[in-house]
Amino acid sequence: MTSKRMLAGALLGTWTAWWTFFAFVQTPPLPIAAGAALAFLLIPLAAWRWRGPGGAALVGEALVLLAWTTLHLHNRPETTLFLVLTLVLPPLGAGILLLTDDGKRRAPIARGQGRSTPGLS
């Protein structure tokens, strides 16, 4: 597993856990909360299984969330900034990481195969 994919997984796991939790504990619970929680769970799972289409779905989800937070919700600017930073950027970043991941593991440099230091060989 590559480091980009692991970083994307950690980002998605944290993001998914928080917003799914938040969707169910908000007061009063909105009917859309179950659909949002389901989307917050299924899209990251699909992205983990299929890197390319899942990464594109995450970027699309981030763009939809960006439009929703900036155009539909009429919050104060600092609340909008908070939502963009915590709701929009994690799936966008994870989607970009998954789309740019080539799936190849980087081989570590074994001892003696790196650059030699003058005077020590």
pTM to 2 decimals? 0.74
Instruction: Using the predicted structure, report yes or no on whether residue 92 has a pLDDT greater than 60.
Output: yes
Mean pLDDT of 91-111: 80
Asked if residues 9 and 55 have their Cβ atoms less than 8 Å apart, the reply is no
Residue 109 covered by a domain: no
Question: Pseudo-torsion of CA 95, 100, 101, 104, nearest 10°?
Answer: 170
Asked if residues 90 and 15 have their Cβ atoms less than 8 Å apart, the reply is yes
Domain with 50 in it: 3-100
Per residue in 28-68, pLDDT (tens digit) is 667 777 777 788 888 888 888 888 899 999 999 999 989 98
Task: Round the average pLDDT of the chain to a whole number and report it.
Answer: 83
Among left, alpha and beta (phi > 0; psi -120 to 50; other), residue 95 is: alpha
If we measure between CA atoms, which residue out of 45, 46, 44, 38 comes closest to residue 92?
44
- pLDDT category at 112 given cuts 50, 70, 90 is low
Structural domain total, the chain: 1
